[in-house]
Amino acid sequence: MLHYQLRNPSDRTLHSYARVRRIRMDEAHRTLELSLDDSHIDPNSILDTHLQVPPFLPVGAHETAGLELRVPRRISKLAKGERGAAPKMQLQDLTGFQTIALKIAYSDTPFYYKPGRESIGQQLRAWAKGRVELTHSAEEIGWRPHQIPPGSAP
């Protein structure tokens, strides 16, 4: 579990995504990338029309709100098949990161889904008035990197 404090210096309530929408591990740089937005979704993808409305966290004007992010120790991801074979599922350990990169979308108005118009993904991307990008070392956030013992539960 990662804990953040979101501070709103503006004169209006801001609404941010409150749940991770994408997890990527850049193994070459040992960076865990957490996206609390949907800017990574291709507007022409079928995913764009089947997204769920995320939970949002309102942060009052000149106030601070706690954001807790649940991050699994490992994830299943699609890996390329060998020599044209079908992709296969692969477990990826997320515990060995040295840096965490966080991207959070926000707006000064609540999000209201409007059925029958653009896709939900298009509406969410249009709703976002800005994005905050934070980068921290594992030490700064109190993370103690470790490896998952073989055969242990996720």
Spacing of C-alpha 140 from chain mean position: 19
Question: What is the pLDDT confidence band of residue 149, given thresholds at 50, 70 and 90?
Answer: very low
Containing domain of residue 117, as a range? Answer: 2-79+89-137
Checking if the pLDDT of 28 tops 60, the result is yes
Phi, psi angle pair for 74, to nearest 5°: -150, 160
Which pLDDT does position 92 carry in this prediction? 87
Average pLDDT of every residue of the chain: 88
Question: Does the residue 129 lie in any domain?
Answer: yes
Question: Does the residue 154 lie in any domain?
Answer: no
Question: Does the residue 127 lie in any domain?
Answer: yes
Which pLDDT does position 129 carry in this prediction? 96
Which pLDDT does position 150 carry in this prediction? 46
0.85 exceeded by pTM: no
Average pLDDT over residues 10-32: 94
Question: Does the residue 11 lie in any domain?
Answer: yes
pLDDT digits (tens, 9 = 90+) for 43-101: 998 888 889 999 999 999 999 999 999 888 888 888 877 887 888 888 988 888 889 99
CATH of the domain at 59: 2.60.40
Question: Does the residue 152 lie in any domain?
Answer: no
Question: Does the residue 84 lie in any domain?
Answer: no
Q: In angstroms, how far apart are the furthest CA atoms of the chain?
A: 57
Which pLDDT does position 23 carry in this prediction? 93
Q: Amino acid identity of 111?
A: F
Asked if 97 and 138 touch (Cβ cutoff 8 Å), the reply is: yes
What is the tally of structural domains in the chain? 1
Question: Does the residue 124 lie in any domain?
Answer: yes
Checking if the pLDDT of 154 tops 80, the result is no
pLDDT digits (tens, 9 = 90+) for 116-147: 878 999 999 999 999 999 998 888 877 655 54
Question: Does the residue 120 lie in any domain?
Answer: yes
Give me the percent of the chain exceeding a pLDDT of 70. 92
| Cα-based distances in Å from 30 to 42, 80, 100 | 25, 21, 9
